[in-house]
Amino acid sequence: AREELFQAQKMEAIGQLTGGIAHDFNNLLMAILGSLEILKKRLPDDPSMMPLLDNAIQGADRGVALIQRMLAYSRRQDLDLAAVDIPSVVAGMMEFVQRSVGAAIQIQTDFEEGLPAVLTDAVQLETALLNLIVNARDATPNGGTITIGATRMQAQADLSEPRTPGLLRLSVSDTGEGMDEETLERAATPFFTTKGVGKGTGLGLSMVQGLVEQSGGKLLIESRKGEGTTISLLLPLAHPTASSQPSLEATPRQALP
Ligand code: ADP
Tell me: the pLDDT tens digits for 61-76? 888 888 877 776 665 5
Verify whether ligand 1 is closer than 6 Å to residue 132 (CB atom). no
Average pLDDT over residues 187-212: 86
pTM recorded for the entire structure: 0.69
- Report the pLDDT value the prediction gives residue 184, as an integer from 0 to 100: 97
Contact 178, 228 (CB under 8 A): yes
Verify whether ligand 1 is closer than 6 Å to residue 205 (CB atom). yes
**Which ligand 1 atom is at minimum distance from the Cα of 136?**
23
- Report the pLDDT value the prediction gives residue 2, as an integer from 0 to 100: 65
The rounded Å distance from CA 134 to ligand 1 centre is 9
Nearby residues of 80 by Cβ (< 8 Å), 6 or more positions away: 121, 122, 123
Highest mean pLDDT among 35-44, 145-154, 246-255 belongs to: 145-154
Verify whether ligand 1 is closer than 6 Å to residue 193 (CB atom). yes
- Report the pLDDT value the prediction gives residue 37, as an integer from 0 to 100: 87
- Report the pLDDT value the prediction gives residue 242, as an integer from 0 to 100: 45
Verify whether ligand 1 is closer than 6 Å to residue 192 (CB atom). yes
Q: Cα dihedral angle (188, 190, 194, 196), rounded to 10 degrees?
A: 160
- Report the pLDDT value the prediction gives residue 5, as an integer from 0 to 100: 66
Average pLDDT over residues 166-194: 94
In whole numbers, what is the pLDDT of the chain averaged over residues? 84
- Report the pLDDT value the prediction gives residue 248, as an integer from 0 to 100: 42
Q: How confident is the model at residue 251 (pLDDT cuts 50, 70, 90)?
A: very low
**Which ligand 1 atom is at minimum distance from the Cα of 203?**
6
Contact 73, 14 (CB under 8 A): no
Sign of CA dihedral 66, 69, 70, 71: positive
Contact 229, 176 (CB under 8 A): yes
Q: How confident is the model at residue 257 (pLDDT cuts 50, 70, 90)?
A: low
Share of the chain above pLDDT 90, in %: 45
Q: How confident is the model at residue 244 (pLDDT cuts 50, 70, 90)?
A: very low
